[in-house]
Amino acid sequence: MNSETACVHGAQFFDPVTGAITVPIYQTAPFRHAGLGQSTGFDYSRSENPTRKVLEQTVALLEHGEYGLAFATGMSAISSIIKLFSPNNKEGGRKTHFIVSEDLYGGTYRLFSEYYAEYGYTFSWVDTSGISHIEAALRPETKVLFIETPSNPMMKVTDIQACAGLIHQKGGRLIVDNTFLTPYFQNPLDLGADFVIHSGSKYLAGHNDTLSGFIVHSNKAFEEPLLKVQRSEGAALSPFDAWLTLRGIKTLSVRMEKHQTNGRRVAAWLQGHPAVETVFYTGLSDHPQLAVSQRQARGHNGMISFYVKDARIIPSILKAVKLVLFAESLGGVESLITYPLVQTHDAIPEEMRLSAGINEKLLRLSVGIENPDDIIADLDAALGR
């Protein structure tokens, strides 16, 4: 099935009784058993729910994976996957080591550095767009390479295939957060990744109206352990949010195409604006990793970061935008503008933030699906001359 078709038809649910062509919202906690030892396959909605199951199968299908698991948020999906790896490494009592993209979602940084580091895991934060940087950070106890590509907010691109080769040679696993491109434009499992992570709150659901998170993989050995984490931790996606996410996915292909068209237009326009110093967008012809993007992805998103020449104009830009909303998220139909320094990336220590390029001059745009002329007119008025 082509991916546009898979978005619309997904796991192809038909209600066997009524013929309904969309899955109902099975708003129930328990499921009745007909007798001892007799289950419909559904017992209690923390463990499994029919609406959630159709969504899990749909996301797995789109990501070319065997198994899909849905969680309440992207963060709970990330927190759950870490449970597959014990903090204590048997080899020489060393602490299990992760190599992580340094330029990534601020919440992931906070989860790893403020919680999992306390439990004994160790982390190296690396610019993964350079494979030599990853090689230099490898240790005997490295078990996981966790990457975001394109990265957030600097839009660096990491070579997924090269990462898979490197970490597999050391017996470790590759986790790719694919929130920014979605399975419509990129399939990390096909490029050798072991796990794909999503914040479904962004492009997948796509309407800035719900939260969800996913893990997709194809490894039978991880099927039971991950179901056990999902069941035990209980960060289950609610039936209604599962339904909203499914509803959003039906239009993923047309939205992503439009985000890309608008993203290209706005990025090119920003490059010519006198108040703008540098534009970071994966679709620009001078993007340093354009060749890698073209090899591993089928398109670009609507995510653009840019430096203004003078940071003093930022408060007035954020106050002046009208159509483009000053808010902290991405991937929805509405265009949003974010100030990473104080919003999404405030948990990252200053030194690391600055070395990644996240400074007081940086703004991030999630270009929506409005008419691009209206987006540009709004930004033009806000940026001033």
Ligand X SMILES: *Cc1c(COP(=O)(O)O)cnc(C)c1O
Helix (H) or strand (E) holding 295: helix 290-296
53 catalytic? Reply is no
Q: According to the binding rule CB under 6 A, does residue 202 interact with ligand X? A: yes
Has 105 been annotated as catalytic? yes
The answer to whether the CB of 321 falls within 8 A of the CB of 382 is yes
Task: Give the nearest distance from C-beta 151 to ligand X in angstroms.
Answer: 9
Report the residue from 63, 102, 103, 148 that binds ligand X according to the rule CB under 6 A.
148
User: Is residue 211 within the footprint of ligand X (CB under 6 A)?
Assistant: yes
DSSP labels, 65-133: -SEEEEESSHHHHHHHHHTTS-SB-SGGGPBPEEEEESSS-HHHHHIIIIIITTTT-EEEEE-TTSHHH
CB of 152 to ligand X, least distance (A): 5
* Spatial distance between the Cα atoms of 320 and 307, rounded to a whole number of angstroms: 17
The Cα 375–Cα 242 span in angstroms is 31
First-to-last C-alpha distance (Å) of the chain: 49
- Minimum CB distance to ligand X, residue 133 (Å): 20
| Catalytic-residue membership of 202 | yes
Q: Which of 202, 258, 361, 364 is catalytic?
A: 202
Grouping H, G, I as helix, E, B as strand and the rest as coil, residue 170 is coil
Min dist. Cβ of residue 198 to ligand X (A): 8
Segment 35-94, which members bind ligand X (CB under 6 A)?
73-75
Q: How far is the CB of 331 from ligand X (least distance, A)?
A: 7
Say how far apart CA 193 and CA 174 lie, in whole Å. 5
Q: Catalytic: which of 127, 159, 177, 378?
A: 177
Contact pattern for ligand X over residues 161 through 200, marking x by CB under 6 A = ----------------x-xx------------------x-
* Separation CA 191–CA 257 (nearest Å): 22
177 is catalytic: yes
| Binding interface with ligand X (CB under 6 A) | 73-75, 105, 107-108, 148, 152, 177, 179-180, 199, 201-202, 211, 213
- For the annotated catalytic residues, the residue numbers are 46, 105, 177, 202
